[in-house]
Amino acid sequence: MPRRHWSGNLGHAAGAAYCGVYMKVDEGGCEWVAVMVRGYDLETQLCELERNHPELHAVIDPQRLSTWRDELAHRSEMQDDFGPSGRGVEYLQAQELNVNARAVGITQLAQLMLGRPGANPARDRIIVDLLGGNGLVRRVISATLGPRAASVLTCDASPHMVSAAWAQGAPAIIQRAEQSLLRSGSVDGVLLAYGSHHIPVGLRQTVANEAYRVLRPGGIFVLHDFLHGSPAERWFADVAHPYSLTGHDFEHFTYREIKDCIARAGFVTSSVMDLDDSYTVTGATADEARRNMGQYLVKMYGLVRVERELGTDAAYYWAADQARQIFRYADDGVTAKASRLCYDDRERTWYLTIPRRAVVGIGWK
């Protein structure tokens, strides 16, 4: 058996989905062994979890795993909006360029699930991010609440995203939100966020039921989306849908649907609330902040058709201006009413914030 000496993330250096380096020691001496973790390679994901994140490996249910293995082996190529032929490459670029663009919302979700920074940190709490992408939520949790705030298992249906998560050092597994691989009563928090509207309406109750099943008593389920009829929905309908390669024709949640979903799953205590989920992007000048915001939005939503029509720079300014017009709210204290551009003297940086309001349903088991 190779003996583990050290493991770490060389993802970008290696230019591939990469996770660990191990020193194999035997009578002949020692050699370094690199382990690649690809998004479609469930077996290597499991091995890496067992080696480096045993607490996460322990929550995986062998029986559910065996059914999923069969399905993965026999499934034909799936439509994957977040794959390289969809908007996956640009989506990841957007996150890398602006890791903190959505930190306001993500931090609040983390605080809901884990408590405020410094509040009773428990090393062994396990959080499952069902629509985890490349592990951005884990990264923001680690930066804001500390790396030991929780063990986060990043899950995603897109192999491209799971590869990218491992390349970032985020333990991840290929899994569909509606078909959890986890043991009953095994985790402390389940997050369904930043893409809940991608779950088909007919499967949403299954996702909530599964969240309830895998939570320990006292565990928390957080369901985040953008309301039907909200400015965010208008953004998707008027900008993301017509101007992206993949389109964006998904039904957003209503308050009622969130409440009912959580109650029907069996959660005894629940609440639904609004959340400030604004975008913030910086620049050395006001103009650069506007351009960077546009770039973030064009890449995040894969607005390739605008780029083709207007050229790259004009597309960025167009996207930023569209967002500034669409994301406007009543003055009720949840978010700013409209976009804000301001200069921070100490940091010598311009900040452009575009308000965005999300809705969050919470269920406690």
Q: By CB under 6 A, name the binding residues for ligand SAM.
A: 82, 95, 131-133, 136-137, 156-158, 161, 176-178, 194-195, 198-199
Of 155 and 350, the one with the shorter C-beta distance to ligand SAM is 155
Greatest Cα-to-Cα distance within the chain, rounded to the nearest angstrom:
72
Q: 302-307: long-range contacts (C-beta < 8 A, 24 or more apart)?
A: 302/86, 302/87, 302/90, 302/91, 302/244, 302/245, 302/246, 303/239, 303/240, 303/243, 303/244, 304/90, 304/243, 304/244, 304/245, 305/242, 305/243, 305/244, 305/245, 306/243
Of 139 and 350, the one with the shorter C-beta distance to ligand SAM is 139
Of 86 and 350, the one with the shorter C-beta distance to ligand SAM is 86
Token pair recorded at residue 154: 């990043």
Cα 207 to chain center, whole Å? Answer: 16
- Kindly give the residue spans of alpha helices, DSSP state H, lying in the chain: 11-14, 42-52, 54-57, 62-74, 88-97, 103-114, 136-145, 159-167, 204-214, 231-235, 241-243, 255-265, 286-300, 304-310, 312-326
Tokens 């965010």 locate to 232
Min dist. Cβ of residue 118 to ligand SAM (A) = 25
SS3 at position 295: helix
Min dist. Cβ of residue 148 to ligand SAM (A) = 21
Residue nearest to ligand SAM (CB): 133
Of 82 and 318, the one with the shorter C-beta distance to ligand SAM is 82
CA distances from 345 to 207, 349, 350, 352, 357 (A): 46, 7, 9, 14, 28
Of 174 and 258, the one with the shorter C-beta distance to ligand SAM is 174
Min dist. Cβ of residue 46 to ligand SAM (A) = 17
Min dist. Cβ of residue 193 to ligand SAM (A) = 6
Of 95 and 322, the one with the shorter C-beta distance to ligand SAM is 95
Of 136 and 149, the one with the shorter C-beta distance to ligand SAM is 136
Question: Hey, what amino acid is at 247?
Answer: G
Of 51 and 198, the one with the shorter C-beta distance to ligand SAM is 198
Min dist. Cβ of residue 106 to ligand SAM (A) = 7
Min dist. Cβ of residue 190 to ligand SAM (A) = 12
Min dist. Cβ of residue 349 to ligand SAM (A) = 23
Instruction: Find out whether 166 and 11 touch, Cβ atoms under 8 Å.
Output: yes
Min dist. Cβ of residue 216 to ligand SAM (A) = 22
CA angle, residues 181, 165, 275, in degrees to nearest 5: 85
Question: Hey, what amino acid is at 236?
Answer: F
